[in-house]
Amino acid sequence: MPVELIETKPKNALPVHLVAKDGLETADLAPSSIAWAKANGFSGEAGRTLVVPGENGALAGALFGIGDGALTVGALARALPEGDWHFASALAEPELAAIALVLGGYVFTRYGKKPGKTLRFALPRGADAARIHRIADGVFLTRDLVNTPTSDMGPDQLEAAVRTLAAAHKAEVSVTRGDDLLTQNFPMIHAVGRASADAPRLVDMIWGPKNAPKVTLVGKGVCFDTGGLDIKPSSGMLLMKKDMGGAANVLGLASMIMAAGLKIRLRVLIPAVENSIAGNAFRPGDVLTSRKGITVEIGNTDAEGRLVLADALALADDEEPQLLVDMATLTGAARVALGPDLPPFYTGDEALASELAAASVAAEDPLWRMPLWRPYDAKLSSKIADINNVTTDGFAGSITAALFLKRFVEKTVAWAHFDIFAWNPADRNYGPAGGDAQCIRALESVISKRYG
């Protein structure tokens, strides 16, 4: 249910008491509440809510098992009855708890699902309401884009979403579309998307002062991935509407950055394509010449994301930005290695890696550094071209994909690649099953500290 934060505590707001596991006796609770909790088998289990009755059957408040981490608090958004609420005591991490509350109330309503009841919650003391709303708006934008099926989120609609965001923040947008991709030297973006009825394109959004530090975000915008001529099985296509999750996440991050008014020159590059099948689809065994001039043999048409990213990264690298980030739902190998909750990231910049690791812990936004292991570069060798887009042995798939992309970033020192899933397989405390933002809250923190 949606959560509205109120800066002044409503007069009749009911208290939520946070209880640690097996901490009933040490919590500041009335004896009647402790007795009620014991009668209902509540002992502070993480994420569990127990409503406490008062006189005449009215609500007197609620108990909540706080567990490890502030994001647990997001479960309250779905568990509490409608009404006005406040935390009964001070929070260790008030802002993160408030973010969790708002994120936990997200509902995707475009296709008829009802938003449910609304909670009003007093803003915890020490929390920045403006920042909370910036973060939540960015996450909700990402979730909405990923959750929308390709029938309503093809390259045309993804471009429209960029234009809508740009208009809200007075950013500039230019688009290279269709055969213009060939004349403007984006041949791999064109090759991947040319079989679709919806023309491939590179969407380029720029915001901020020209002389400010340059931060460039690149997001994989494959709006649907059939696998191309190396076609996926039907089960493998069920979630392919989310293959533009990288684009959705960089747009969510861009929303946070622009709403904060950071003093940077922000550029967002999104190669928006659909990897379809038709008589003009690119083929296994084809050799493509990239924007950078590197020739790429196609070992598998289902490894298309790295191709469109390569052309976009080559363009971004020409400017030598102070920070270059790309995000993509790139490999199943990343999920095998780390699962859906823990996205790997790759960078050769030790300072950036350290900042990201610290921000990940502070924001409870999981990520894990993986190595750009140079000996695996040889796995991408080709007998007829400079490089193949896949390996032949199937090992280290996420690492070799990152090494492929690294070849197209030669000038920029601070570059990081995020191999994300962009999806919750099951409900979590801070959001329902479905599309989700990954890493962008941590990235927002790093970028704000660097350039805020």
- To the query of whether residue 232 is one of the catalytic residues in this protein, the response is yes
- Contact (CB, 8 A) for 71 and 100: yes
b/e map 34-48, b = 16+ CB within 10 Å: bebbeeeebbbeebb
d(CA 227, CA 276) in angstroms, rounded, equals 7
Of these residues, 21, 120, 163, 232, which one is catalytic?
232
The DSSP letter of residue 428 is B
Of these residues, 177, 306, 406, 428, which one is catalytic?
306
Q: Which of 325, 236, 324, 249 is CA-nearest to residue 275?
A: 236
Residues 6+ apart with CB under 8 A from 370: 337, 344, 345, 346, 398, 399, 402
Residue identified by tokens 């001070």 is 90
Q: How many CA atoms lie within 13 A of 52 on its CB side?
A: 22
Determine the residue type at 223.
C
- Contact (CB, 8 A) for 316 and 216: yes
Q: For the chain, what is the total number of helices (H) and then of strands (E)? A: 14, 20
The DSSP letter of residue 172 is E
Q: How many CA atoms lie within 13 A of 233 on its CB side?
A: 1
Residues 6+ apart with CB under 8 A from 302: 225, 227, 228, 230, 231, 232, 275
d(CA 165, CA 290) in angstroms, rounded, equals 30
- To the query of whether residue 379 is one of the catalytic residues in this protein, the response is no
Query: Which structure tokens are listed for 66?
Result: 């706080």
Active site residues: 232, 306
